[in-house]
Amino acid sequence: MTAARRGGKRIGYVRVSTLDQNESRQLEGVQLDKRFADKASGKDTKRPQLQAALDYVRDGDVLVVHSMDRLARNLDDLRRIVTQLTGRGVVVEFVKEHLTFTSEDNAMSKLLLSVMGAFAEFERSLIRERQREGIAIAKKAGVYRGRKPSLTPERVTELRARVAAGEKKAALAREFGISRETLYSYAPVNG
């Protein structure tokens, strides 16, 4: 029995890796009752909207995800999430792969999940490898500049003065829009 026949909702989950990526294209044109979106790297374990989506879905609902690599960080993570959801009566639908997993899945479905998940993991590792190679080539050619600094020199001076004045580092990091690690790289703590 499909979620639509049981009165279930279609819940979308979207994840983009960077703040400037467009999340709307991932499930564009897909009819959804509710949508959850994270802006986080796939390796990032802090995906609050994924957790919210997992908490929200109920028996009879369909969780719609653009592709397997948007849902999970690796193959083990993918299998765990899909197994937990289907065990609760939630259907998991991957748009890009044209795959749907239900609680009635058989051995072939489990095999497909493992194989397709492994391909997604392999594809991500190839992309990272090509990115590293491209950066190495650009560095050799002298055209790689690296990431743009988070703060202007004036803001760095202001930050250092305020750290020296004893202001709380966590509050400064929030105000300047940087992580505490970045704050410490700009204003190292002495002694």
CA–CA separation, 145 vs 158, rounded Å? 25
CA dihedral 41, 129, 115, 44 (to 10 degrees): -20
Catalytic option among 17, 41, 67, 109? 17
Contacts of 56 (CB under 8 A, 6+ apart): 11, 34, 36
Q: Is residue 150 annotated as a catalytic residue, yes or no? A: no
Residues 6 or more apart whose CB falls under 8 angstroms from that of 23 comprise 14, 15, 16, 37, 39
State the Cα–Cα distance between residues 79 and 187, nearest whole angstrom.
Answer: 43
What is the C-alpha to C-alpha distance for residues 50 and 81, in angstroms, rounded to an integer? 10
**DSSP single-letter state for residue 191:** -
Q: Which residues are catalytic?
A: 17
